[in-house]
Structure 1
Amino acid sequence: MPYNEVCTVHPTPDAVTPADPLLETYNWIEAQGLENLRFHLAATDDLKKESITTFNVLLALAGALVAYAVKSLTKDGWNSLNTPALVSGIYLAALCALVVWKCLLIGTVPAPTNSPKNLLTYIDYPLAVAKSLELLNVDERIDQAMKRNNGLAGWINGIRLAALGAFLLAAITHFLGA
């Protein structure tokens, strides 16, 4: 997955330098922030796995319905179940395309830490100032990961709920054709 290195907070010469005893606190805050970001990045992987499972189930159902409609058509001719099976199969195939488009295409994922090149912008500042500025960047990456995961989860849940509509669509198609 491509990584989006974020370094939007740049140090200023008039930055306040916290006292050195606070470095232990900064280290603790940094560890918590990185753990939080790693959690959200792991959740991204879990959501991708859920997307793949959803895609596979929908594709299997779509394939089975379309295969049934085609086989039934060639064997017995057109009957009252061909149209609902074909319409539902096409509907589920469209949901498969939506899973690929909204959930499986590779997007930008925030990196857990900043690049050395970006961290070098802090070279002339005390460590406490550099850490405090970098903590703001970690927080921004956490926000990006949360926003990405919330969107992905919303699409997966919406597509799963929409898949339930295939049964309703089949019933309506059957009754309209009867």
Structure 2
Amino acid sequence: MTTHINEQAQQLDWAEKAAIEHLKARLATGDALHAQASQLLTLLLAGMTGALAIGSKVFESYPGPVQWGAAVVSAWLASICVVLTLKAIATRTTQTQYNEPRNLYRAELAEKYTLQQLREFELENVQQRIDLTKARNANVAWWLDRCRYAAAATPAVFAVAAAISA
């Protein structure tokens, strides 16, 4: 019986350590996605500014296809920037690696449950934080990819706008 209890304690120790490491990796992935989105935003803003400098000439007399194409590209890149900011960069609820002390130790819970049971409850809490972090990362990654695809389509947007205005 003691061997079985000892094995359960070891398994719980192992699961707790693995869960925290897993959550830590998921949180790091979220940070990496945020950094990539910020880098993409910087590139898009630079491209938008350049296109705006050329595209602003549509307000002069007799703008040509290049000016119209650049104006449309500027608007296109601005719209990607807005989507990227709202869907991938904007501040979101982020899970923490560890629970707060006031949640980990409460005298009334210590009277009702064994330490083993409390640790098992906390392991479930870590799993919930992992699940929420995975969902947040998946959503950010999905939008980041869509914004990358939209940015890659920019030459086609320019070509279509220039062709229509010609």
Pairing 1:55–2:63 present: no
Among residues 89, 110, 114, which one is paired with 1:123 in the alignment? 110
Indicate conservation of the 8 Å contact 2:55/2:72, yes or no.
no
Cα-Cα RMSD: 1.8
Using structure 2 for the length normalisation, give the TM-score: 0.89
* Matched residue, 1:137: 125
Residue 146 of structure 2 is aligned to residue 161 of structure 1: no
1:96-115 Cα deviation digits (max 9, x unpaired): 11111111111101111111
Counterpart-to-counterpart distance in 2, 1:134 and 1:118: 9
SS of equivalent residue, structure 2 residue 92:
coil
3-state SS of the aligned residue for 2:98?
A: coil
Of 4, 19, 26, 2:5 maps to: 19
Offset at residue 70 of structure 1 (A) = 2.5
Higher helix share: 2
Q: Which amino acid aligns with 1:53?
A: Q
Kindly provide the amino acid, as one letter, of the partner of residue 110 in structure 2.
I
Relative to structure 1, is the Cα distance of residues 172 and 72 closer, same or farther in structure 2, using a 3 angstrom cutoff?
closer
| Greater RCO, CA 8 A, separation 6+ | 1
> Within 2, Cα distance between the matches of 1:110 and 1:36?
13
Structure 1 runs, 4 residues or longer, greater than 3 Å off:
71-74
Following superposition, the deviation at residue 72 of structure 1 comes to 8.1
Moved more, 25-34 or 96-105: 96-105
User: Quick one: percent identity of the two aligned structures?
Assistant: 26
- Which segments of 5 or more consecutive residues in structure 1 lack a partner in the other structure? 1-17
Structure 2: segments with no counterpart, 5+ residues: none
CA distance in 2 between partners of 1:83 and 1:169 (Å): 11
